[in-house]
Chains A and B, each alone.
Chain A
């Protein structure tokens, strides 16, 4: 057995949260995990209704064109085809995202099915439903679209150039965010050195193993969609699209085979809804893997330009950051992603004078949107690269430079906010480095070994000015079992199971006696989608709140029956009893019965509301996120200087998670996130050239396999100071951010050069080595001349 969890309370903790938990802090495997290991969980594609049809989206094969004509006659005539729909068949063919409030934000509508023009290769141009998938695929091929090519733009810099073709008539810059703190000029004047860097990242695909999928049908006049989605609240957008009342659409979220943000926007939903609405039959849609690779939303490629002023002792005096995010052809969540990027551009460091500008820029490429880390993740590569460059310039160690700049509780962020929870990033740094153990030697004459690390800060919880809230309903049943109803959706990270664990702790109901019903826009109290690492914070707190309020409600009855005072009662193992040695207790069933006799309800609905706030986009000051999770990863790599290949020998990760509700699941999230980060760092690239993906094969999209990377050694810190339930901090996103910076840092240690472009492919590393050799050669010639 390798990576064991080490749980360490850092010395700086002021008070440890009360121990003595029965279920919290344990790692039971329950609920959906049991069905999953048996293979009996019904994912979105595991659903069949009588008369079900099979759907297919017909997609553009060109990146930028006017649609001159669409001929569906042959497709419609094919035996077994029930419907072929085009733009004309969509009642309200415009999806508009809620305004984010950024500067100069364009309102850009996205057609559900393109009618006049296509703006990216893969944009839907028709929909098919047929008796079998094979017939649907035949019909899709028979849809004849006539395109007139238009000039397009395929990178952010070209899109910003004078005279660039416009992706949308309103312009190519979707939105601008700025954050301004202090006096930038004065800050640079104070600096003894200025370090500049430009960093670039790539299009990344979520590559969940479960393709986008769902089944739709009409029941009692309600369009019902059972789909793999992170957000059931899209039901209202579907209703608007169909011209229906909001209560005529229901979205049921299945347990997903991975989401990572790729199922946060609608995927199959609008197309299923249209086909169901037109045919009045159940319809199933499963995206082809290759279709998903080409056309599903991606992570934003970023161009990040940093200018950092530092004193001789390494402390930062000023930082100027420019971020360009490639939004692709339509807005989706780009404004929010670029806001998160701007907010986190400085990382976990004190920056008294800052000017950050971030822009989302349209291109004629696949739209980009949410992906684990959501903009803040990409910035880690930027700010950590800067810190290492600063260390090199000033001849300070990378750890020293960071320690001199790390934020602390009570510090001001560039947004003007005060950090109100502890910052244990320094402790995570030392812990991660320690986990690497003894240095490895090089395996041969052509390899070099190096070590590095990367610190990060990732927000959890939605932006404060969205007035986030989540509701939950808990009910103690007559037999003492518990029902939880929550609109939460489950990506596979135990979102639902964690809520059961919290309720089990508070109400003393054994985990096996809890049933949870999630993700149904018609039947569950709304909880908001599962994204922004918000579910533990929001729904966790919601369930905690409801459980505590419910317990208070029934405690009075229990106290009456048991003769103790309410504060002394203990709920555990299906019973409630006094904590004194006399040990009288009731079963929960007996308590429920007693409540019933007294007219005391044993069910409760309640809402947790996050603190509200506001942000001034012009001043670049205000409230951003509720809190952050801090961590550090460390790595040892070996570089083959003849081929540029980088092999990761050892890898370690340490995050302060506040409190680990389920330590095994927390460790799993960290390991999985780190592995995705390693793919982002070294091998993953959804390369697009002139608007056309260079490959659509899953074989060519290189996510990490079981052989090429080492075990991620994990240490968890529990500062107890998170804003989630019982002091927890979110851990869904944070662990993906560190890897790229960590590996770059290790490569720099090995070969003396730091890559600034992702992914750090062997070819790119070799080119850097060649460049360094050429420079060294020039230098020698210069000296000898």
Chain B
């Protein structure tokens, strides 16, 4: 179908985009990369009366500020994949993006757009969540910083107000003694994940046992979620041995209530959570200890 008619305005800055949102209200939608939004327009699933093109606002290159990696909201997926700063300081994000879309999608898709779209199977969302990233959000009155864990509310829904836009994402850089893991199951490479698991492990000072661990899950709920820390607590002080991993991964799997769809049943998704959590945490532990791992 051809999209339903709309007015088109372009915003040369984030502030201008916000002004336009205030001006046009609920019927306006911001388009960044458009790789998730425009298919919905083409299928007439959404019919905004105004499209605000934020691409002219541009983006600075990724930059490390202290212990944070600052990514402009309009940072393209391709940049996340190829930029040496990202690859060095946030390898989890670079790896997750490798699974997103294809060359064309990555040339246009943006990290700000992905997080604002809040797809429950998003590899980028899972990575931002597990790394405790923050989103800098600008509204008509002010800017605020919101933790990504407070951003995703439900299916394709965030806590962003109708007049707010994401301007930056701040991701803690990979620290010493920290490791990451990313495992997903897809029916066909580069498709939307069936289940994706991202893990972050921090080791104790002796770099032998787990000091803290965090796991995020995509494809198991109406949004990307963090595994209950209480369930993961059993890994603290361990060396992520097989028995502990198996026990805790099983508990994490038991705790999720996924839905069935054309690609996988709820029961199978739960099985995947079990297997992929084990594998992702294992990878994170090994990487924390400096073991080279093929992605």
Contact = CB atoms under 8 A, between A and B. Distances in A.
Contact flag (A, B; Cβ within 8 A): yes
Contact of B1 (A288, A695, A699, A707): A288
Interface stretch (A294-302, A520-528, A617-625, A761-769): A761-769
Given A645-B185, A683-B188, A699-B192, A134 B2 contact: yes
A766 B268 contact: yes
Contacts of A708: 188-189
Contacts of A761: 187
B187 A705 contact: no
A288 B42 CA distance: 10
Which 6 A-B pairs give the minimum distances between C-beta atoms? A694-B262, A134-B2, A763-B268, A137-B1, A642-B275, A707-B189
B175 interface: no
B252 to A, nearest CB: 15
Interface in A690-716: 694-695, 699-700, 702, 704-705, 707-708
A405 interface: no
A699 B191 contact: yes
Contacts of B2: 132-134, 137
A702 B188 contact: yes
B271 interface: yes
A762 B185 contact: yes
Q: Which of B5, B43, B192, B268 has the most CB of A within 10 A?
A: B268
B261 A694 contact: yes
B263 interface: yes
24 contacts: A132-B2, A133-B2, A134-B2, A134-B3, A141-B44, A288-B1, A642-B275, A643-B272, A643-B275, A645-B185, A683-B187, A683-B188, A687-B262, A694-B261, A694-B262, A700-B262, A700-B263, A705-B188, A707-B189, A708-B188, A708-B189, A763-B268, A766-B268, A766-B271
Interface of A: 132-134, 137-138, 141, 288, 290, 642-643, 645, 683, 687, 694-695, 699-700, 702, 704-705, 707-708, 761-763, 766
Given A643-B275, A707-B190, A766-B271, 9 more contacts: A138-B4, A643-B271, A687-B262, A694-B261, A700-B262, A702-B187, A704-B188, A705-B188, A761-B187
Given A694-B261, A694-B262, A766-B271, A290 B43 contact: yes
B265 interface: yes
Interface string B174-208: 00000000000101111110000000000000000
A643 B185 contact: yes
A702 B190 CA distance: 11
A250 to B, nearest CB: 30
A347 to B, nearest CB: 30
Contacts of A141: 44
B9 interface: no
Interface of B: 1-5, 43-44, 185, 187-192, 261-265, 268, 271-272, 275
Contacts of A137: 1-2, 44
Looking at chain B's contact residues, is the secondary structure mostly helix, strand, loop, or mixed?
A: loop
Looking at chain A's contact residues, is the secondary structure mostly helix, strand, loop, or mixed?
A: loop
Given A137-B2, A645-B185, A705-B190, A763 B264 contact: yes
A292 to B, nearest CB: 13
A134 to B, nearest CB: 4
A700 B262 CA distance: 8
A694 B190 CA distance: 21
A766 B270 CA distance: 13
Nearest to B195: A643
Contacts of B265: 763
A708 to B, nearest CB: 5
Contacts of A702: 187-188, 191
A683 B44 CA distance: 28
Nearest to A693: B262
Nearest to B276: A643
B262 A695 contact: yes
A706 to B, nearest CB: 9
A530 B271 CA distance: 46
B142 to A, nearest CB: 38
A133 B189 CA distance: 34
A625 B265 CA distance: 43
A750 B264 CA distance: 23
A683 B189 CA distance: 12
Contacts of A134: 2-3, 5
Contacts of B272: 643
Nearest to A767: B268
Contacts of B263: 700
A754 to B, nearest CB: 20
Nearest to A140: B1
Q: Which of B189, B190, B192, B272 has the most CB of A within 10 A?
A: B272
Q: Which of A134, A137, A288, A643 has the most CB of B within 10 A?
A: A643
A288 B2 CA distance: 10
Nearest to A703: B188
A690 B94 CA distance: 42
Contacts of B43: 290
A687 B262 CA distance: 7
Nearest to A686: B262
Nearest to B189: A707
Contacts of B1: 137, 288
Nearest to A54: B2
B108 to A, nearest CB: 16
A138 B3 CA distance: 9
B185 A705 contact: no
A141 B262 CA distance: 27
A705 B189 contact: yes
